[in-house]
């Protein structure tokens, strides 16, 4: 219990604000409705920015680190794209909004992503030498990229659905 209190007390307030924001986004996604592409871009942009900042600060210009992270993004993007294959997505040209069915995967995905990133960042804060451990480094970069990629893939599916509908292609049943 003391260790949990240590983690909580040494965690910056912005991390807790981020967690609250992610939870509210996940809960909101459980209801079908209209949303703009800009709002849908917030989560992938947030995790991309967090990843860019973390990797730049820790690994600088190491092409191996960036390659692992990008490989994770590629794999994750494919998973994210497939996660919405049965979603109902239609665009309203007049409002510029996308109607999407309820997404029950977002909240658990956000919580797991946050927990994994928080765990890796906490471990690195407690033991910075882990950044040089090959296994830890690969797991950190691939998982960080993979989770970021899932959100990017989901966003790309939403974007594709919006573009198809906006150009006149009927996209009533699936993304």
User: Using CB atoms within 10 A of its CB, is residue 122 exposed (0-12), middle (13-18) or buried (19+)?
Assistant: middle
pLDDT digits (tens, 9 = 90+) for 53-102: 999 998 999 999 999 999 999 999 999 999 988 888 888 878 889 888 99
Is the overall model pTM greater than 0.75, yes or no? yes
**pLDDT > 50? residue 127:** yes
- List the single range of 78-82, 125-129, 162-166, 169-173 with lowest mean pLDDT: 169-173
Question: H helices of the chain, where?
Answer: 2-10, 13-28, 37-59, 63-83, 106-126, 134-166
Residue 173: pLDDT band with limits 50, 70, 90: very low
**pLDDT > 60? residue 7:** yes
- List the single range of 38-42, 53-57, 104-108, 162-166 with lowest mean pLDDT: 162-166
């Amino acid at each position: 219990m003391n260790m949990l209190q240590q983690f909580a007390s040494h965690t910056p307030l912005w991390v807790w604000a981020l967690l609250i924001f992610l939870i509210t986004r996940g809960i909101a996604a459980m209801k079908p409705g209209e949303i703009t592409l800009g709002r849908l871009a917030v989560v992938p942009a947030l995790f991309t920015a967090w990843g860019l900042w973390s990797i730049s600060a820790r690994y600088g210009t190491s092409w191996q680190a960036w390659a692992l992270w990008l490989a994770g993004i590629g794999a994750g993007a494919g998973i994210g794209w497939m996660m919405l294959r049965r979603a109902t997505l239609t665009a309203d040209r007049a409002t510029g909004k996308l109607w999407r069915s309820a997404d029950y995967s977002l909240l658990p995905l956000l919580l797991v992503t946050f927990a994994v990133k928080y765990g890796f960042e906490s471990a690195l804060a407690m033991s910075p030498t882990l950044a040089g451990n090959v296994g830890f480094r690969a797991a950190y970069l691939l998982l960080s990229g993979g989770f970021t990629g899932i959100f990017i893939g989901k966003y790309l599916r939403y974007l594709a659905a919006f573009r198809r509908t906006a150009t006149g292609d009927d996209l009533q049943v699936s993304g």
